[in-house]
Amino acid sequence: MYCSQCGKQTGENDKFCPNCGAPAVPPVTEVTPLPPQEAQPFLSPHQGAAMSEVTPEDYQQTPQPQEFVAPPQMATPQQISDAIKKVFRSPLLLISAIALTAGLACYFAYIIDNIEILSINIRSILSSATDGYREEIGIISEYAYLFYIALQLPAVLIALGMWMTCISSRRKKEGLTAGGIKLIKGVLIFQLVLYILAALLCILLLALGMATAGITGQMDVIFGFLLLAAFIVLLLVYQIKLLSTADVMRRAVQYRVPVYTISVFVAVINFLIAVFEIYQAYQSFVSSGILLALNAIFAALTYIFLGAFILYYRRAAFILYYRSAMRSIR
């Protein structure tokens, strides 16, 4: 040990320095206390090795907790019904109803203006086929307007059903009803029965024509009846598809389900019929006057907008069905 004053060596038991007499007390150094440390958990050697292998990149790849999002609820029947009601509120259906009604008005105006000429035509046709029944022929010709009205009765009922559907879709408080579509479906069923009877008659005439042509060699008869049969079959298929379209819309409204299985064939045939009606309007304007020409023009507009509405309904109902299905899956 050394003296703190002169630096000479002193003994261990000396209380004073033998050289300078200064007290031989060892210097005290300040010791800074260490901060308290948290107790570390005990790790086994395997756990310690695993912890040493964790890198900052691994920590960044650890999935972070996300905010909880409630799963979407499945669309209720009322929501689907409101969406379908909005589809039928389309101006395409309303324009179709207006055009069909205007065309029927032009047709009936033409009948009223030309009822005498039409009665004479009926009388001449019946007199050449049934001689000796002049009194009955006169009675029939007097009520000829009933015959022409009956020809347009299905169109009148279809127009009524379209107006019922349009009015129902624009009611704010009440839901969409299927009464108008049911009426249209009933008319289409009646027309389908008539087309089936016409197809059977066509087959019978075709068989008779083929038998006659086989004897006389008139192949043009067979060709004409084949064209007639093809036309009847096309109208029959169109009528079946149209009836199926009305039934799809009826089920969508009545059961509040987004049914979209509608054939595009119906819309395509509607557009083709519209082209024929435009040509018919030109022929009627040249031969029969403006009223029948307007009737054909309004008929063309009816087919065009009705075909466009069918395509619009198919797209809207498919989107509604897809969203409802995705909600139920989620």
Q: Region 32-52: what's the mean pLDDT?
A: 52
Place 132 in a pLDDT band, splitting at 50, 70 and 90. low
Q: What is the pLDDT of residue 171?
A: 87
Long-range CB pairs of 168-175 (<8 Å, 24+ gap) are 168/88, 169/85, 169/86, 169/88, 169/89, 169/93, 170/89, 175/81, 175/82, 175/85
Q: What is the pLDDT of residue 254?
A: 87
Backbone angles phi, psi at 324, to 5 degrees: -65, -40
pLDDT above 90 as % of the chain: 29
Q: Is the pLDDT of residue 121 over 50?
A: yes
Place 113 in a pLDDT band, splitting at 50, 70 and 90. confident
Q: What is the pLDDT of residue 99?
A: 96
Q: What is the pLDDT of residue 179?
A: 92
Q: What is the pLDDT of residue 296?
A: 93
Pick 198 or 92 by higher pLDDT: 92
Q: Region 229-234: what's the mean pLDDT?
A: 81
Q: What is the pTM of this model?
A: 0.67
Q: What is the pLDDT of residue 68?
A: 44
CA distance 299 to 100: 6
CA distance 270 to 267: 5
Nearest one of 274, 67, 91, 284 to 170, comparing CA atoms: 91
| Span of 107-116, 196-205, 319-328 with lowest mean pLDDT | 319-328
Place 129 in a pLDDT band, splitting at 50, 70 and 90. low
Burial 294-320 (b: 16+ CB within 10 A, else e): bbbbbbbbbbbbbbbbbbbbbebbeeb
Q: What is the pLDDT of residue 12?
A: 72
Place 142 in a pLDDT band, splitting at 50, 70 and 90. low
Pick 232 or 128 by higher pLDDT: 232
Q: What is the pLDDT of residue 189?
A: 94
Q: Is the pLDDT of residue 279 over 90?
A: yes
CA distance 143 to 88: 39
| Span of 42-56, 75-89, 212-226, 247-261 with lowest mean pLDDT | 42-56
| Span of 61-75, 114-128, 205-219 with lowest mean pLDDT | 61-75
Place 71 in a pLDDT band, splitting at 50, 70 and 90. very low
| Span of 21-30, 141-150, 165-174, 200-209 with lowest mean pLDDT | 21-30
Q: Is the pLDDT of residue 44 over 80?
A: no
Q: What is the pLDDT of residue 228?
A: 75
| Span of 74-78, 293-297, 315-319 with lowest mean pLDDT | 74-78
Structure tokens at 68: 């909880």
Q: What is the pLDDT of residue 3?
A: 73
Report the 10 Å Cβ neighbour count for 224.
15
Structure tokens at 191: 């027309």
Tokens 């790849």, located at residue: 61
